[in-house]
Amino acid sequence: MSPNITQSWVLALVPEIGLVILLAAVLLYDRLVKPEERRRVGLLTAWGAFAILVTTLGLWLATGEPNNATDIGTSLMWGGMIRFDLIALVFHVIFLVALMLTALLSLDVEHLQKGEYYALLITAAIGFSLMGASADLIMLYVALETASISSYILAGFATKDPRSSEAGMKYFIYGAFATGVMLYGMSLLYGLTGQTNLYILGSIFGGFQQIPTEVNAVVILSAVMIMVGFGFKISAVPFHFWTPDVYEGSPTPFTGYVSTASKAAGFAVFLRVFTTGVLGEPSDASMWWAMLIAITVITMTLGNFVAIFQKNFKRLLAYSSIAQAGYALIGLVTLSPDGSSATMYYLLMYIFTNIAAFGVITIVSNRIGSDELEDFSGLSRRSPYLALVMMFALLSLSGIPPTAGFFGKFFLFRSAVNAGLWWLALLGILNAFVALYYYLSAVKYMYLYRSENEDDPIPVSRGAKVGLAFSLFFIFYLGIFAGPIFEWTRTAADAFFVLAR
Amino acid sequence: MEFPFLSIIVLSPLVAAAIILLMPKERGENARMLALATMILGLILSLYVYVAYNQNLPPAGTRWADTLMFLEEHAWVPSIGVNYILGVDGLSATLVLLTSIVGLGGVMISWGITERPREFMAFFMLLVAGVQGVFAAVDGFLLFFFYELAVLPMYIMIVIWGWKERREYASMKLTLYLLIGSFISFIAFLVLYFQLPEYSTATAPTFDLRIWSEANFPFAIQQVWFLPLFLGFAVLAGIWPLHNWSPDGHVAAPTAVSMIHAGVLMKLGAYASMRVGIQILPEGTVYWMPFIIFLTLINVVYGSFVAMRQRDMKYLIGYSSVSHMGLVSMGFAALNAKGFLGSGIQMVSHGVMTALFFSVVGMIYDRAHTRNMDDLDGMGKPLPWLVVPFIIGGLVGMGMPGLSGFLAEFPIFLGVWQGGSLNLSGAVFGLNPANYYPIIAIISALGIIITAAYILRAVGKVFFGEYQGEKWHDMRPLFALDKVALIMFSVILIVIGVFPAVIAPIVQSGMAPVVDRITDAQHAVTFLDTVQTAATTLFSWFGGA
């Protein structure tokens, strides 16, 4: 690796550099703007995120970088800390879109109209972006902590609501513990090899025909510990206990953010670490693979079955998001380019779907001051368009065409069958029907049950309308014209397997 | 490029649905007009497709891929072999036309709907688009895509506009039954998809059914995966014992939805289970059908008996649908050309017949607010327009010669009678298909007598007898559109019966490639052989001779 900073090195960091500039701008603007026009801070964040998104994609199209070069040496940058590949690009798009939509949907929530809120959202986005690109255990850890610490504060941001403080505290304690365990697992790997770069680690362990038994025990131990940290991020069972409380207590737009961007970032590192062969070949002999499959099955099943009994919309979506993580894990456990691309596609569609759902909850609960399912009764008469967006978001979560979720699930189940795990696909499908039951029950509240204040429409600001319309558009776009996007993630996924056996 | 007939037929309702949903709330009137216009456009185009197909029918012995007309092909997700391919063969051209007819009838019947007409029409359009899409799809994935698309609007329409007492239960039951069934088929389909490349000429994996329709899977695979593939879809065709969702769904649904549901949607199940199940896995078909025919026999007989017990008119028709759809599956199980021809015609005939029945019942219910036959008397007096169509429908149900039902049921019984001619070897306890198929034909033909009994009783009970004018305060005359729909349905039933030539050749041409596949199937081993082997093994285990 040459020490000269080339054009690609800068290109690799464009989103992060943009976000840092945006962060400074937001903090500065927050001081300058009149108190009654605080809303504009949020608009600045949204526009800024959009501009960075356009720049990133534009530079990609203009320079052709990142491309799918299989040479690891040229794609590792900044001293091997990050890797500039299509995977990073896919995840940058995911995080920037999430940031933009979250900012748009936070606009009208009064207690969130503060510069600090948006600044923290941006900081978290920087952390997520670096997680998506990191190729080194140290970078990975630093990025993960950047994202996590901002998230802990955001979860407790509604200081007047005791539930929010509880959420922040709970998130912090669980998070600190989980990342601590993960760090210990990483240090074991370092102790074995003296290396921290994922690709060097990958080639070391990939080089073994059979990892020696005494080493293997340590590797498995470290795999399990790393799984704890990542599993916490994606709220996989049994590291999911924080999820419902944090989702319920946090400010709703942030819940949307944490359930999509944070989860996607968790999957980014999960995929990166587990598919580069850092922990050796997956096979029936490697115990961590069996464990991963067990986690997948339990995550989707438990999430869905507990969600059935929820009476609070945010808690329902919290458990549903646990289950969704389970589906996305199906792509991971196949440990194939096919599966990884399916997972990435799923995360992409999940951004639009879940943020739309939480956006509707934000708007409604901002008006009626409650997010119980019962209080959504008669929503279709009160605000037909909000109900429509919510319905399509829920249908997308359950995987019904022509919404994005259908293709998302199809790609996942297809990759599972391809990997010979057809029983896993079958379990996934049966789970999808359990999920359909409670999603449809939620639809029933909005469309069937009546309430007294049906003539009192819920006002939606222009910013929120744009956010919801954008999400809805992509829910359908990804559900109908899935081809190009899937090809894109499919090409990107090859970059995971550069050390391909 | 040719004019995209099928794309317009399939996609115009989708566009209409989107426009209707975006209309302002107050514009219920425009929503109805737009829906009606879309349906009329669809009817004209599908009539053209039908006539054009009818005029140059492919000669017998043509491969399925060559019988398709109006093909449209576009790449969708090419790297995994998913493409947007539409096309029709003889059967699907007929079913597309049927869907257009019933869809148009459905819009006409729902003209007077007052509760949220905008959303009603939008979801109805979505439903029609999904159904048309399944019939026109030549790509396996596309078929599933539209299939799921068709099921979901059912849920929403039943739950919002359905019968208050049962709607939540029935809609959830229906949705879960149908979606689970279809996804189980889908898994089987995916498993086959990854086995396909080695056995076909295609280089890349593909969902193109034209290639699938000539694939020769090894017998072991066919044996295992036929059952999930076939039964998953047959759930929608109401096969016993998975028929349970159907009567509840029919009863809870609003009239137009019942019509589409019983009239077209159940055919979707039969069509898909034939197109995907039987056509792809002919040896699996030969293996399982001698067993499945028992299920269809239960359908026919049990359905009629349960229908006889019903007091609620919608339940009566719901169970009669179970019984009549059993005949469709039984035609498949006959495994010969006559049976399949009968099944194809039965799909159309039953489609129009139930649409007619449900519209009549819907019209009575709108006015009398009850469907209980014990309460209804002499309805022929205030609503004379309903009597003749209902009787025509009833006669079709009984298979009266001169009407479409005879044309459908007679070949099925004939086909089943001859079904043993495939020369299958199974002989458990002397049960060779050649021996018991005729008995099944006889028993199921007797089921028709029961049909006659309950239909005639319903006619007598509801339309004749003393009319008590003071009891029915809401008794208003029919709308003009209602009458148009009734006449349309009745005329179709009579025309098919009197001039079989309008439908029999085209359906036969659609069924011929499937029948050829079965005839060519090599393995004459059936489920019964396996049972016999297992029984012998078990017997010897216990130390038998």
Mean pLDDT of B382-405: 83
Which of B20, B145, B235 to mutate to probe the A interface, most A CBs <10 Å?
B145
Q: What is the 3-state secondary structure (H, E, C) of B307-350?
A: HHHCCEHHHHHHHHHHHHHHHHHHHHHCCCHHHHHHHHHHHHHH
What is the rounded distance in angstroms from the CA atom of residue A219 to the CA atom of residue A221? 5
Residue B77: which of A418, A448, A483 has the nearest Cβ? Answer: A483
Instruction: Give the separation between CA B505 and CA B520, rounded to whole angstroms.
Output: 22
Distance of alpha carbon B475 from alpha carbon B469, whole angstroms: 9
| Digit-coded pLDDT (tens) for A69-124 | 666 777 778 888 888 888 889 999 999 999 999 999 988 888 888 888 999 999 99
Which ranges of A251-403 would DSSP assign to H, the alpha helix? 252-257, 263-275, 287-307, 313-333, 337-368, 379-382, 384-398
DSSP code per residue over B264-308: IIHHHHHHHIIIIIITT-HHHHHHHHHHHHHHHHHHHHHHHHHHH
pLDDT 10s digits, B329-355: 888 888 888 888 888 888 888 888 888
pLDDT-based confidence at A1, cuts 50/70/90? Answer: very low
Q: Is A280 left (phi over 0), alpha (psi -120 to 50) or beta?
A: left
Chain B closest CA to A403's CA: distance in Å? 10
Query: DSSP of B353-378, one letter per residue?
Result: HHHHHHHHHHHHHHHHS--BTTT---
Closest-CA residue in chain A for B115?
Answer: A381
Distance from CA of B78 to the nearest CA of A (A): 7
Does residue B166 or residue B96 have the better pLDDT? Answer: B96
**Domain of B499, in residue numbers:** 5-540
**Contact flag A426-B184 (C-beta cutoff 8 Å):** yes
Contact B156 A401 (CB under 8 A): no
Q: Count of domains in chain B? A: 1
Nearest-10 Cα torsion for A166, A167, A173, A177: 160
| Number of C-beta neighbours around residue A160 at 10 A | 7
A500 pLDDT more than 90:
no
As a whole number of angstroms, the distance between CA A498 and CA A67 comes to 13
The shortest CB-CB distance from A447 to any of B160, B184, B187 is to B160
Q: Half-sphere exposure of B215 toward its Cβ, with a 13 Å CA cutoff?
A: 32
Whether B196 maps to a domain, the answer reads yes
Percentage, residues of chain B above pLDDT 70? 94
Q: What is the pLDDT of residue A501?
A: 47
Looking up tokens 């759809």 gives B325
pLDDT at A376: 85
Chain A residue with CA closest to B174: the answer is A437
In contact, B463 and B378? CB cutoff 8 Å: yes
Q: B176 at the A interface (CB within 8 A)?
A: yes
CA distance A481 to B262: 32
- Contact in structure between A444 and B168 (CB atoms under 8 Å): yes
Between CA B113 and CA B119, with CA B116 as vertex, the angle to 5 degrees is: 105
Tell me what pLDDT residue B240 has. 80
Q: Does B453 map to a domain?
A: yes
Q: Measure the CA–CA gap between A41 and A85, rounded to whole angstroms.
A: 32
Give me the pLDDT at residue A3, please: 60
8 Å CB contact of A440 and B172? yes
Task: Identify all chain B residues contacting A429, using CB atoms and an 8 Å cutoff.
Answer: 180, 183-184, 186-187
DSSP state of A418: H
**Residue A406: which of B25, B148, B156 has the nearest Cβ?**
B148
Maximum Cα–Cα distance across chain B: 81
Cα separation, A477 vs A356, whole angstroms = 14
Whether A422 sits inside 8 A of B180 (CB atoms) is: no
Burial of A311 (0-12, 13-18, 19+ CB in 10 A): exposed
Q: How far apart, in whole angstroms, are the C-alpha atoms of residue B492 and residue B488?
A: 6
pLDDT in tens, B107-128: 888 887 777 778 888 888 888 9
Decide: B91 and B511 in contact? Cβ < 8 Å: yes
> Quick check: B21 contacting A, CB < 8 Å?
yes
Cβ pair A440:B184 closer than 8 A: no
Per the CB < 8 A criterion, the answer to whether B458 and B373 are in contact is yes
- Average pLDDT over chain A, rounded to an integer: 87
Would you give the DSSP letter of residue B23? S
The answer to whether B177 faces chain A, any CB pair under 8 Å, is: no
Domain membership of residue B197 (yes or no) is: yes
**Which CA distances in Å does A264 have to A261, A270, A405, B11, B63?**
5, 10, 16, 34, 48
User: Per the structure block, which two tokens stand in for A247?
Assistant: 């989702």
Percentage of chain B beyond pLDDT 90 is: 0
Q: Angle CA(B496)–CA(B501)–CA(B507) in degrees, nearest 5? A: 85
Considering chain B, what is the average pLDDT of its residues?
82
DSSP percent split of chain B into helix, strand, coil, nearest 5: 75, 5, 20
This complex has an ipTM of: 0.83
**How would you class B56 by CB atoms within 10 Å of its CB: exposed for 0-12, middle for 13-18, buried for 19 or more?**
exposed
CB atoms within 10 A of CB A223: 24
Nearest by CB: A436 against B21, B119, B179: B179
Closest by alpha carbon to B432, among B520, B522, B340, B531?
B531
> Which one, of A207, A114, A343, A338, lies nearest residue B81 by Cα?
A338
Mean pLDDT calculated for residue range B501-525: 81
Spatial separation of the C-alpha atoms in residues A277 and A274, rounded to whole Å:
6
Backbone angles phi, psi at B513, to 5 degrees: -60, -35
Nearest residue on chain B to A426, alpha-carbon basis: B187
pTM over 0.90: no
Rounded Cα distance between A21 and A15, Å, is 10
Which H helix or E strand runs over A153?
helix A137-155
Identity of the amino acid at A135: A
The answer for A 413-472 residues in CB contact with B (under 8 A) is 413-414, 417-418, 422, 425-426, 429-430, 432-433, 436-437, 440, 443-444, 447-448
Residues of chain A with Cβ-Cβ distance to B82 below 8 Å are 483
pLDDT category at B200 given cuts 50, 70, 90 is low
**pLDDT value at residue A124:** 94
Burial (Cβ within 10 Å: 0-12, 13-18, ≥19) of residue A500: exposed
Cβ distance A417 to B187 less than 8 Å, yes or no, reads yes
Question: Of A326, A328, A330, A310, which Cα lies nearest the Cα of A318?
Answer: A310
Nearest to B194 by CA among B232, B148, B140, B235: B140
Q: Which residue of B has its CA nearest to A447?
A: B160
Query: Could you tell me how far CA B530 lies from the centroid of its own chain?
Result: 31
How far does the CA of residue A346 sit from the closest CA of chain B (Å)?
16
Position B302 in a domain: yes
Q: What is the pLDDT of residue B260?
A: 83
**How many pairs of residues across A and B have Cβ atoms under 8 Å apart?**
81
Contacts of B26 (CB under 8 A, 6+ apart): none
Query: Is residue B208 classed as helix, strand or coil in its secondary structure?
Result: strand
Residue pair B170/B162 in contact by the 8 Å Cβ criterion: yes
Interior angle at CA B275, CA B274 and CA B276, nearest 5: 95
Q: What is the pLDDT of residues B456-477, one digit of tens each?
A: 888 888 888 777 777 777 777 7
The residue that leads in pLDDT, B432 or B100, is: B100
Burial letters B67-99, b for 16+ CB under 10 A, else e = bbbbebeeebbeebbbbbbbbbbbbbbbbbbbb
Closest CB to A426 among B14, B187, B193: B187
Are A247 and A259 in contact, with CB atoms under 8 Å apart?
yes
Identify all chain B residues contacting A402, using CB atoms and an 8 Å cutoff.
14, 145, 149
Quote the minimal CA–CA distance from B175 to chain A in Å: 9
Residue B204, pLDDT score: 67
Within a domain: residue B545?
Answer: no
Report pLDDT for A322: 92
CA–CA gap between residue B413 and residue B327 (Å, rounded):
9
Q: What is the per-residue pLDDT for A179?
A: 92
